[in-house]
Structure 1
Amino acid sequence: MAIWNLGSINADMVYAMPHLPAAGETLAASSLDRFLGGKGANMSVAAVRAGSEVHHIGAVGPDGHWAVERLQSYGVGIEHVTQINTPTGHAIIAVEPDGENQIILFPGSNRALSQEQLKQALSKAKPDDILVMQNETSLQAEAAQLGRQLGLRVCYAAAPFDADAVQAVLPFLDFLILNEVEAAQLEQAIGKPPGAIGVRDVIITLGAKGARHIDGDTGTTQEVPALPVTAVDTTGAGDTFTGYVLASLDQGLAMEKAMATASRAAALMVTRHGTADVIPELTEVQGARF
């Protein structure tokens, strides 16, 4: 099987800061790094490094050739990544010493995908392949509906969170991943807890407390604890978790095992500075000691 990712591609400009800037504050950074990023690119790289075949559906501007080359060098399928005239998306990320971050996001070409591009890409997918989306591109609802029609396992990572965007894709979802704050926001918006929204599988990530899976059919829950590490940068950890979960499920692992593997990958990720470029390989995840 394979994973099809309608996903963002960004240049992540990461500034190391003594603390996160307050409103009106001018603050000097101690370093600057440019990484391949975007929630979509992060998930594609994570899923490839977890051992799955991944096809990325996205767009970059004239300034984004380097990002496509880097995706390809990591093993991600880039035949459905298009170059257009809109500038490539980018993120300005401030990271303080304890790993907390603050992000300014410019969507750019990620919001300029075409219906034709989407249809052409998913025409190559096979039933039971996985389709994943995040709220950083155009055509999310259209992709979810088409994925359902084609018999794909449709997954939505609900970030950056927007209640309307989630509700637009809900009727077509098999799998929803969101964090604890987003879960509360969704419940407030629709008046139902995550386990009662009609989605077969829901994962709520809980940060340092781990992650919870809710079976939408039975209402049963299972939790996987987080691993004890010292975080230096939490950027991309949730995307790493999602990519590893999906790849593990794609390879036939049970949900509990998939979440445990993803938790290990995310734990390693927060010990590193960067985004897609530093996502751990499966051999590192399997061999890590915590």
Structure 2
Amino acid sequence: MTAPRFVCLGNLTSDDIVLPDGSVKRRAGGGDALYAGFAARIFEPTTEIVAPIGNDVPEETIRRLRVRGFSPASLPVRDRPTLHVEVVYQPDGERVWTFHHTEEDFADLSPAPADIPRDYLGADAFLILAMYLDATEALSRYLADKPGLTALDPQQDYIPGNEERVREIVSRVDVFLPSAVEVRRLTGSEDWPRASRELAALGPRLVVVKLGPEGCFVHDAETGRDLAVPALPAGVVDATGAGDSFSGAFMAALVNTSGDIEAAARAGVAAASFTIGDFGTAGIMAAEPETVLRRWQQDADPANARQEDIA
């Protein structure tokens, strides 16, 4: 097996999805590791996922991972049920989430340093996705002295009351990929250039603010460059997981293009545009790599240039 150049660390879930018409999809595969991993593998084919699974993980989820080439070696089985989430989609587009697992389940089913296979440790980059805060902290410490880049996509819910702790975690990573909500919670600002510089001063070389339908804002602390890339036009069915897909694709493309932040940002918005086209993980899991890459390459064409360097 080829050692991965990029590794996504996060959670897998078993989701019951109730659609607006009342139909139900039970035990659908979900979780940030799935969204990020499937998006990342489009841009870096050696990508692997490290995500503990429960003793009742849906077989269809494992099958789809195998079909895409992911190794089961980095899906350690815990002796407890898979994280279970119910998502009810309202006719107005709102979502109601019910979590059928405990905090102890969430902690145990978040990856630990010991879950990372030894031959993954030479990867060019690692992405720590939203998970239990203690697990995030442990991984950030463990990966800090590894040769590859470490990126963090945080969880907005653990920030209130833990701001200083989260800032300390941010200080250990090379790439920080917060949402607009997370930036506001950490800095109190919606001035993305100013807020990005404040966050970069903690330590990350790149701060990438995910702005949903507005695309993303990237600050490169090494060069002082600011870059805004708008979202690609796409019909929105469900925005769940779009940020995870963005982060996975961004980091995978950053690895594959030897640090081209424009290419990485365009990869992120391209992956997100497929994720939002269907409910749950269906959009990104069904996306053909060739189709996503074609959209990415078309967006890179100077004739279609949409990115903007900000003075």
1:100 CA displacement? 4.2
1:239 CA displacement? 1.3
2:49 aligned partner: 56
1:84 aligned partner: 78
Task: Give secondary structure in 2 for the equivalent of 1:72.
Answer: helix
Q: Supply the AA of the counterpart residue of 1:206.
A: L
Query: 1:242–1:97: structure 2 CA closer, same or farther, 3 Å change rule?
Result: farther
1:276 CA displacement? 5.7
Query: Retained in 1: the 8 A contact 2:229–2:266?
Result: yes
1:184 aligned partner: 184
Query: Retained in 2: the 8 A contact 1:60–1:110?
Result: no
Aligned counterpart for 2:232 among listed residues 210, 227, 232: 227
Work out the CA distance in 2 between the residues paired with 1:234 and 1:202. 22
The CA deviation string for residues 32-82 of structure 1, in whole angstroms up to 9 with x for no partner, is 124211112221122123333122222222211523343223222220211
Unaligned runs of 5+ residues in structure 2 are 190-194, 300-311
Work out the CA distance in 1 between the residues paired with 2:74 and 2:123. 20
The CA deviation string for residues 12-36 of structure 1, in whole angstroms up to 9 with x for no partner, is 222123xxxxxxxxxxx61112421
Aligned counterpart for 1:273 among listed residues 270, 279, 297: 279
2:16 aligned partner: 13
The answer to whether 1:4 aligns with 2:7 is yes
2:213 aligned partner: 208
The answer to whether 1:146 aligns with 2:142 is yes
The number of aligned residues is: 277
1:228 CA displacement? 2.2
Query: Retained in 2: the 8 A contact 1:269–1:278?
Result: yes
Work out the CA distance in 1 between the residues paired with 2:247 and 2:92. 23
The CA deviation string for residues 152-177 of structure 1, in whole angstroms up to 9 with x for no partner, is 21011012442236335223100111
Query: 1:263–1:97: structure 2 CA closer, same or farther, 3 Å change rule?
Result: farther
The answer to whether 1:263 aligns with 2:269 is yes
Identity of aligned residues (%): 23
Query: Retained in 1: the 8 A contact 2:35–2:284?
Result: no
Q: 142-151 or 49-58: which moved more?
A: 49-58
The answer to whether 1:32 aligns with 2:27 is no
Q: 134-143 or 227-236: which moved more?
A: 134-143
Task: Give secondary structure in 2 for the equivalent of 1:60.
Answer: coil
Unaligned runs of 5+ residues in structure 1 are 18-28
Query: Retained in 1: the 8 A contact 2:208–2:219?
Result: yes
Larger helix proportion of the pair: 2
Work out the CA distance in 1 between the residues paired with 2:158 and 2:220. 23
Query: 1:93–1:211: structure 2 CA closer, same or farther, 3 Å change rule?
Result: same
